[in-house]
Amino acid sequence: MLKGIIYFLIIVLANTVGAVSGMGGGVIIKPVLDFIAADPVVVVSFYSSVAVFVMSMTSTVRQAKGGVTVQWRLMAWIAAGSILGGFLGNHTFDFFLANFSDDTVIKLIQIGLTIVTLLFALFYNHFNFRKFHLTAKIWYFICGLILGFLASLLGIGGGPINVSLLILMFGVPIKEATVYSICTIFFSQLAKLVTIAFYSGFGRYDLTMLFYVIPAAIIGGFVGAKVSQSVSSKQVSQIFEAVVLLVLCINLYNGFQLFF
């Protein structure tokens, strides 16, 4: 009961911030739940994936009703790549589970890759490096493939690399990039959950926790989408950087703790 309430509060806050910034709540949920250490890494990754999947679905619906425009040609190719990336990321995660008996090794891999993506996102967003304005369809697919793979493998849903990579490759404004990012999260996590359902099943998870996870994700997704429509691009950028710094500190602390 207490664990469920704690998870509920963490997910509401994380998904609200994640929907506004376009990062998805998983980039906050995953390291915070690792810090609490109430569940093993595979269970934490599952709850995080469910939370950001539900958040992305509700946030996308809310954004669409709010009149946000989306370039569907761009979105379709990114979605296709993110679905394949989601499958590959989950299979890679299962490979790690099968070959490393100690959760510590898997956590270190996830933390290390997350820190790399956080630093990339922070520096790119802050220093506003050049944008490539790519238009070929294959680049949309490759972008989705990379994002879907990392989202599924790391259990963070999307993370800050989504927004930064979309801006870098296609030169879209940050508020538009957050919408594409949330849509990408939806498809990559859908692919991951379908893979789990067909290959390993849900027997290893306490599904009663979803009574806390899913409502929290819905609330966070709707609140975040509403807030996103009322803030400026500059404010989104500031929220983005603040969250990246916070999550970077949490991941560094979690990584440090694994050695002691």
Q: What is the DSSP string of 28-74?
A: HHHHHHHHHTSS-HHHHHHHHHHHHHHHHHHHHHHHHHTT----HHH
Range of the domain at 161: 2-257
For residues 232-256, average pLDDT: 86
| 71 pLDDT above the threshold of 80 | no
Q: What is the spatial distance between Cα 63 and Cα 181, in angstroms, rounded to a whole number?
A: 12
Q: Which residue has the higher pLDDT, 98 or 65?
A: 98
Which of the listed ranges 41-45, 219-223, 227-231 does the model predict with the highest average pLDDT? Answer: 41-45
Residue recorded with tokens 């697919």: 141
Q: Above 90 in pLDDT, residue 124?
A: no
Cα torsion at 102, 162, 160, 242 (round to 10°)? -170
Reported as a single tens digit per residue, the pLDDT across 166-220 is 888 988 887 778 778 878 888 888 888 998 898 888 988 999 999 999 999 889 8
Residue pair 32/250 in contact by the 8 Å Cβ criterion: yes
* Amino acid 209: pLDDT: 95
| Tokens standing for residue 21 | 């910034």
Task: Give the Cα separation of 163 and 112 in Å (integer).
Answer: 19
pLDDT band at 67 (very low <50, low <70, confident <90, very high): low
Give the pLDDT score at 157. 60
CB of 161 closer than 8 Å to CB of 120: yes
Average pLDDT, the chain: 85
Would the pLDDT of 259 be above 70?
Answer: yes
pTM of the model: 0.82
Q: What is the pLDDT of residue 63?
A: 64
Q: How confident is the model at residue 162 (pLDDT cuts 50, 70, 90)?
A: confident
Number of domains into which the chain is organized: 1
CB 179 within 8 A of CB 22: yes
